[in-house]
Structure 1
Amino acid sequence: MNNIRRRSRIRQHYSAEVKQMDEQMDEMHSVLQKLALDLEKSRIADYTRLLHKPLRLIWLNLLSGTARGVGIAIGFTFFAATIVYVLQLLGALNLPIVGDYIADIVRIVQRQLELDTY
């Protein structure tokens, strides 16, 4: 009889441990699922595939750099045209401050050109 009680207690003890381990496994499974979903969202697989094809990586970087350069050129052209337009409007007003400022710039440039004879 004593032996039966002892076995029963051992089974209960192991049953509790198994239940606890099962809960831990379920928790670990949900954490791993979340991690797998996050990795899939970050597109790590696509990135590693791209790293294994260096020519494709170079081509994509070349295209993106060219597009970036063209965008900067168009943006700077628009910005410079706007500045020139505003300066033309200010020049038409014949403001003494702006005129003096531009005259100073012209004098500085002329002096520099006279000094630098190649």
Structure 2
Amino acid sequence: MNMKDIVEHCLSYPDSYEDHPFGDGWTAIRHKKNQKIFALIFRLDDRLCINLKCDPNHAGTLRDTFADVQPGYHMNKEHWNMVYLDGELSKPDIYEMVRESYHLTQPKKLKKSE
């Protein structure tokens, strides 16, 4: 998977936008309403990577199952995974992780008062 493919996929989610808060080489995909990052794309040791938020109960399972899933680079290791995009993982596997990250970081819905 290349940079263009993953950015296009992330931007296909509703109300998302591309940002570069850390300068060249770092692409953040955020929610428009709360500005939370749900995907952070970068190169590490000349490999294309993405940080994605993950349920802590699921994060360890993914790391144990796939060598290309590691604790989040420069992120909370309990809640974020770093995924190498040029390795063994299929597009559907990566896209499912993006979907989970998008949902975990989306704006909270307000409860209607009775």
TM range (shorter): under 0.3
Q: Which has the higher contact order (CA 8 A, sep 6+)?
A: 2
TM-score (norm 2): 0.19
Bigger CA radius of gyration: 1
Give the structure with the higher percent helix.
Answer: 1
Give the structure with the higher percent strand.
Answer: 2
